[in-house]
Amino acid sequence: MQTFPGERLEVLLAHSEIKHRVESIGKRITMDYDGKALLLVGILKGSFVFMADLVRSIDLPVAVDFMAMSSYGAATKSSGVVRILKDLDHGVDGRHVVIVEDIVDTGLTLNYIYGHMRSRGAASVKICSLLDKPSRRQVAVPLHYKGFEIPDEFVVGYGLDVDERYRNLPDVCRLVQE
């Protein structure tokens, strides 16, 4: 893919590896939620590609909704400030919710969403994240379904961006600034 001047991409997780992992998470969710009213809640925008693949790997009736939280903007470091920009379209009363996130870094975003969802009457709430950067965690959050642990590097692709670039890359790549 064409890169922005001064930026280079190095593949960290190839699409084939991601595909395989996402399918196995989908199978586990299919087993765990058989007979239950399952709602996947994607956190925009970064989770949209993961969500699209995950939902097609789940062999159950499943509803999908999205929330958007304040982002880090152009900066690549956590501001620690979390705010709801778009809330769910429907209530979660009695539903079994799985929150679908692209990456857990400090944990601040998911910690907030997890608490928020649990206070809204869901039958259960679990967290599913494609990527995990455990070395940067500031708040402990339970990761019930996890794709890959990655080192403390800024990554893009498979939905993740920098200034809205590279979301359409099929691989997850390290972003190297030159």
Integer CA distances (angstroms), 74 to 33, 68, 106, in order: 38, 17, 17
By C-beta, is 110 or 122 nearer to ligand 5GP? 110
By C-beta, is 107 or 147 nearer to ligand 5GP? 107
Stretch that binds ligand 5GP, among 2-10, 33-41, 83-91, 106-114 (CB under 6 A): 106-114
What is the DSSP-derived secondary structure letter of residue 134? G
For residue 154, state whether it binds ligand 5GP (rule: CB under 6 A).
yes
Q: Determine how many CB atoms are found less than 10 A away from the CB of residue 96.
A: 17
Residues 1-60 that bind ligand 5GP (CB under 6 A): 46
Q: Determine how many CB atoms are found less than 10 A away from the CB of residue 154.
A: 15
DSSP string, 77-126: S------EEE--SS--TT-EEEEEEEEESSSHHHHHHHHHHHTTT-SEEE
Stretch that binds ligand 5GP, among 10-18, 53-61, 92-100, 155-163 (CB under 6 A): 155-163
For residue 157, state whether it binds ligand 5GP (rule: CB under 6 A).
no
Find the binder of ligand 5GP among 53, 67, 95, 105 (CB under 6 A): 105
Q: Which of 105, 161, 163, 171 is catalytic?
A: 105
Matching residue, tokens 């992992």? 21
CA–CA distance, 67 with 113 (Å, rounded to integer): 9
By C-beta, is 33 or 169 nearer to ligand 5GP? 169
CA–CA distance, 125 with 88 (Å, rounded to integer): 15
Indicate if 34 belongs to the active site: no
Shortest distance, position 162 Cβ to ligand 5GP, whole Å: 6
- Catalytic residues, which ones? 105
Residues within the interface to ligand 5GP (CB under 6 A): 46, 71-72, 78, 101-110, 154-156, 160-162
